[in-house]
């Protein structure tokens, strides 16, 4: 077990304050971590001027959304299919299965609404999954988003993601990073030291998957650092539906994808998981070949 600045804990059910949504673009109700005697008018004003200091949930009767503010959605869940991946970027983060189809240990940095946790937990019964989030108010929404309880296959830990990775045992097959604050990608994780720590803890065929969203200035340096740490074995491809990008970085030495095999394998994964892996594979191949061409052009100018 990794050493943590805060002890791992199972979040306890907490009473929620419910009020009508004050947002013109977000109908339904708002769920807040506030006592029953909280003043609705004050909360409404804080939500509208973005001074409310905690995450909150919007429930429109069909979906539940996690927000820090309405400019950047953190997570979405369809109430009729709570274990599915509703947002396209979360679906594309599962593209690591094209390259490492049988992971045993997965670590997620940044819990959000737990969509990736639930998808992997319900569809990959042999995987041991650990999710780490620094914000106890995010973890406290786990029942709202219908996460399973902790057990032998799942741990949800309150703590710093970088510290968890630094103290973790080696041999992690997949590290997924989906960590954000109210401004975008968590700045404390956008550094080379964090990437080097992940590289050291991945298994020989390990894969790093990073969701990149928000202002590009918040993560462009991370892409450059990943290229150096992972010896240029990095692919970045877009998620135009959500305005995100997904970064894949591979520890395997001499990374040379067998694209024809991967496209056939993608069809098998689609049948098994219900996600559009054939399209993911096409986008990843195009991005990989474009990236190689760009790097060769740069070398030719030196």
Which residues are catalytic, by number? Answer: 178
CA separation for the pair 34, 207 (Å, rounded): 39
Which residues are CB-contacts of 15 (< 8 A; sequence separation ≥ 6)? 35, 36
Q: State the pairing for strand pair 234-239/202-212.
A: unpaired
Q: Which residues pair with 237 in a beta bridge?
A: 246
CA separation for the pair 108, 267 (Å, rounded): 26
CA separation for the pair 137, 134 (Å, rounded): 9
Spacing of C-alpha 79 from chain mean position: 20
Q: Which of these, 91, 92, 143, lies nearest to 113 by C-alpha position?
A: 143
Contact by Cβ (8 Å): 61, 54: no
Q: Return the C-alpha torsion angle 201, 203, 208, 209, nearest 10.
A: -120
Residue 63 belongs to what H/E stretch?
Answer: strand 63-69
Contact by Cβ (8 Å): 197, 166: yes
CA separation for the pair 29, 31 (Å, rounded): 7
Spacing of C-alpha 263 from chain mean position: 24
Which residues are CB-contacts of 293 (< 8 A; sequence separation ≥ 6)? none
CA separation for the pair 192, 10 (Å, rounded): 31
């Amino acid at each position: 077990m990794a050493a943590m600045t805060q002890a791992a804990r199972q979040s306890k059910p907490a009473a929620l304050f419910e009020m009508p949504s004050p947002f013109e673009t977000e109908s339904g109700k708002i769920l807040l971590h506030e006592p029953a005697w909280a003043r609705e008018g004050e909360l409404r004003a804080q939500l509208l001027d973005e001074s409310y200091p905690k995450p909150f949930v919007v429930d429109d009767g069909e979906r539940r959304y996690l927000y820090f503010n309405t400019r950047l959605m953190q997570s979405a869940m369809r109430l009729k299919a709570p274990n599915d991946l509703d947002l396209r970027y979360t679906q594309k983060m599962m593209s690591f299965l094209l390259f490492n189809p049988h992971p045993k240990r997965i670590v997620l940095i940044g819990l959000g609404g737990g969509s990736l946790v639930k998808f992997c937990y319900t569809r990959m019964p042999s995987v041991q999954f650990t999710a780490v989030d620094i914000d106890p108010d995010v973890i406290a929404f786990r029942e709202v988003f219908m996460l399973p309880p902790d057990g032998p296959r799942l741990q949800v830990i309150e703590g710093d993601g970088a510290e968890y990775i630094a103290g973790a045992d080696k041999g992690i097959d997949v590290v997924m990073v989906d960590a954000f604050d109210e401004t975008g990608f968590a700045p404390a994780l956008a550094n080379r030291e964090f990437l080097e720590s992940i590289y050291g803890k991945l298994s020989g065929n390990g894969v790093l998957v990073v969701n990149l969203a928000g202002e590009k200035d918040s993560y462009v340096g991370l892409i450059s650092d990943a290229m150096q740490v992972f010896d240029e074995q990095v692919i970045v491809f877009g998620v135009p539906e959500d305005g995100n990008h997904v970064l894949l970085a591979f520890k395997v030495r001499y990374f040379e994808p067998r694209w024809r095999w991967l496209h056939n394998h993608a069809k098998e994964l689609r049948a098994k998981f219900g996600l559009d892996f054939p399209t993911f594979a096409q986008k990843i191949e195009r991005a990989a070949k474009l990236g190689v061409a760009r790097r060769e052009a740069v070398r030719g100018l030196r």
